[in-house]
Structure 1
């Protein structure tokens, strides 16, 4: 029981920084993954806007899987979905690549203007999509496994490092009780070994 506080301190000293670094790494990785996913999403929106442009120029139907809007002479019509666009923010205020909030949903938009017709393509933002859930779960599981293995390794190392100190404490108690021929533990080549040397020297002087 008396060994636990020292091991606990050792575990805190090892696991604490690892936990902080792990959480920061998770947040940073999630941020970078999201930024990369947003870049890919904007590229997809740009491709879809060009598909709409080509369909308009060739007077062919626009693919129904493309979500967006066509604005001509101040009138806006929805592409790929039914219903009016009245709940959307003013499309005139959007930048070429922008983010909007519609009914508490975060959307990415891309705008392309061709001969007075403004093409606006819309897609769900990556963080609002379940497509990245697997990535975040994998990162979280990797973090938990790493912390678990680090905890087990730290506990093993803590027991290995504190065992000579605990043995040395018992030796010191025997010397204090008057014993003059006490077997000292093995001497590692570190500060604990120097401490054992000091106890050995003390025992020699007492003899």
Structure 2
């Protein structure tokens, strides 16, 4: 997930200043060449040792002054200790459960907007649903059609979640969970137990 996120950010014109994996991290305040970095990872199996970058520990990376931080691999990485070090304006949870409850409270207190995992990394689940629909209909969509449908679903979900968060003055996480519970309850009322 992290490699894809870095590539998307770079493709959209963002400056990717640091990345890490299980072996360590690399940083370059002027920006990393993500395409070359991905080639390096394919050749070596790690981001460590990438040219035109300095080494950085995974913990120090979490405290860099950046706009967006994407924890994309490890559960519970933003806890009561590491969350205090976060200086990003946004945390986009690419991993499942990268922020603990206490970490979430600290980030909220510090004004960091957290895009929760249930929203930020839902793409795989959505595409799995598309596969299920296609299999049931014996009809196949092109890769472009799937990408278009996925983009629409992700944008729509974020719009719904952010609108409720603003309206109710709650976090994006609380908003996403409230919408999820509401939709399951509505489906249960309409359909009964499934199947």
Query: Normalising by structure 2, what TM-score?
Result: 0.24
Greater relative contact order (CA < 8 Å, ≥ 6 in sequence) = 1
TM-score w.r.t. the length of structure 1 is 0.23
Q: Which structure has the greater CA radius of gyration? A: 1
**More helix as a share of residues:** 1
